[in-house]
Amino acid sequence: MNKPVVTVLFFLISLILFACNSGDNKADNRAADSASFLEQQNITINKSTDSVRMPASEQPGFPEAVLEINPVTSKNQVPQGEGAPMRQEGIHFASMGQYKEAVQAFNESLKREPKHADTWFYRAKAKADMKDYAGAESDFSKAMELRNDVPAYYYYRGEMYANQKKYKAALADFEKTIKLQPTFADAINYKGVMLASMGDHPQAIDFYNQAIEKKPDFALAYYNKATSLAALNQFEAAENDFNEALRLQSDYNEALINRGNVRFMLQKYREAIQDYTKALASKPDNGDIYYNRAFSYQRLNEVDKACADWLKAMQLEHPAAADMLKQYCEHQK
């Protein structure tokens, strides 16, 4: 193959770092690739995504102190009942990531108050964070049996289903959340994510727009909208929404990387290189970024720089970098 490499980008729908939602803001590598641009080789995007964030300003009908499990301090709510001390202890353990201890505390609380719906919910959330999905599902169902009008119950069960890639079940829970609290922008955004994960990007975009209407500074919704626009090959519109996400959240690295990819597709190679380079400042060990940047260098006939990036990507164990070196960089061996 003697002609320049033609690329296909794989954009990530912002599918939910559930661990990030529990307060530590660490990215994990669960991701739903949205196969996008119909060309012939493969640039890959960084395999981390952003979180569906739970803002303290939008509490979706939460039960007693539930935001502490995220953790966000819940105000003006005094725990009550015989099981309250153990329940609060469980919430504390969960907020520290000590889920086994949290479950034990919730068990003790439920012995004293077996019909306390919030405690069943808290235990469900802790079990979901432990990936005990069967146990969590049972506890969510019990909480809903006792109280069927709490948006948080459906929201977090939907999050659990999304984590398991049970998109239809998750979608139903987010729809129920929105029915109970129509202004809850995070649930609306999450509904868009589920639709995009099932390949329905046009409808997903409609819900991202609704989320942005509810919360104009919602950087994540702009990011998600941009990924769906990119999946539909609407690169200029995608670039605009990545711009907006970055205006709202200047350190939004995934938006920066994906904007670089969109700019590559728009043949804005210098600008793409700038985005990749800036992203590498905070993620210097990310092989995907080096791999992607190399293509822009190649298109600008800066072959040495392209090969240096593919070499670095190979050293960082990018699965396709060695093949690029073999095809285009024999002199780098």
DSSP secondary-structure letter at 32?
E
The per-residue pLDDT for range 43-60, each reduced to its tens digit, is 433 333 333 333 333 333
CB–CB of 139/119 below 8 Å?
no
Going by C-alpha positions, the residue among 326, 255, 320, 330 that lies closest to residue 8 is: 320
Distance CA 273, CA 261 (A): 9
**C-beta separation of 214 from 185 below 8 A:** yes
Task: State how far the Cα of 187 lies from the Cα of 192, in Å rounded to an integer.
Answer: 9
Whether omega for the bond prior to residue 284 falls within 30 degrees of 0, making it cis, is no
- The pairing of beta strand 9-13 with beta strand 32-35: antiparallel
Q: With respect to residue 79, please indicate whether it lies within any of the assigned structural domains.
A: yes
pLDDT tens digits for range 100-155 = 999 999 999 999 999 999 999 999 999 999 999 999 999 999 999 999 999 999 99
Choose among 260, 252, 228: nearest CA to 53.
252
The confidence score (pLDDT) of residue 145 equals 97
pLDDT, residue 80, reads 73
* Position 331 confidence tier, pLDDT thresholds 50, 70, 90: low
Which one is predicted more confidently, 161 or 7?
161
Other beta carbons within 10 Å of 81: 14
- Euclidean distance between the first and the last CA atom of the chain, given in angstroms as a whole number: 19
Tell me the torsion sign for CA atoms 205, 208, 214, 219.
negative
φ, ψ of residue 48 to 5 degrees: the values are -120, 150
Residue 327 CB neighbours (<10 A): 13
Domain harbouring 136, CATH code? 1.25.40.10
pLDDT of residue 330: 79
260 within 8 A of 292, measured Cβ to Cβ: yes
- What tens digit of pLDDT does each residue of 12-27 get? 322 222 222 222 222 2
**What percent of the chain is helix, strand and coil (3-state, nearest 5)?**
65, 5, 35
pLDDT tens digits for range 218-244: 999 999 999 999 999 999 999 999 999
Q: What is the mean pLDDT of residues 169-198?
A: 96
- Chain-centroid distance of CA 286 in Å reads 18
Question: For 67-84, what is each residue's pLDDT tens digit?
Answer: 333 333 344 455 678 999
CA distances from 260 to 116, 175, 255, 277, 319 (A): 50, 33, 8, 9, 20
Asked if residue 189 belongs to a domain, the reply is: no
User: What value does the mean pLDDT of the chain take?
Assistant: 80
Whether residue 67 is contained in a domain is answered as yes
Sign of CA dihedral 220, 188, 168, 37: negative
Q: Give the integer Cα–Cα distance in Å for 328 and 310.
A: 10
Q: What is the pTM of this model?
A: 0.79
Q: Which residues contact 187 (CB under 8 A, 6 or more apart)?
A: 60, 151, 155, 158, 174, 177, 178, 181
As a whole-number percent, the residues of the chain with pLDDT over 70 amount to 75
Is 170 within a domain?
no
- Which of 47, 52, 49, 60 minimizes the C-alpha distance to 22? 52
**Residue 283 pLDDT greater than 50, yes or no:** yes
pLDDT at 92 over 50: yes
DSSP bridge pairs for 11: 34
Phi, psi angles (nearest 5°) of residue 281: -60, -35
Burial code of 260-280, b = ≥16 C-beta within 10 A, e = fewer?
bbbbbbeebbebbbbbbeebb
Q: Is 76 part of a structural domain of the chain? A: yes
| 208 within domain boundaries | no
The answer as to whether 46 is a domain residue is no
Domain that holds residue 107: 62-149
Q: Environment class of residue 127 by beta-carbon count within 10 Å: exposed (0-12), middle (13-18) or buried (19+)? A: buried
pLDDT at residue 63 is higher than 60: no
Whether residue 68 is contained in a domain is answered as yes
Overall size of the chain counted in residues? 333
Please state the domain count of the chain: 1
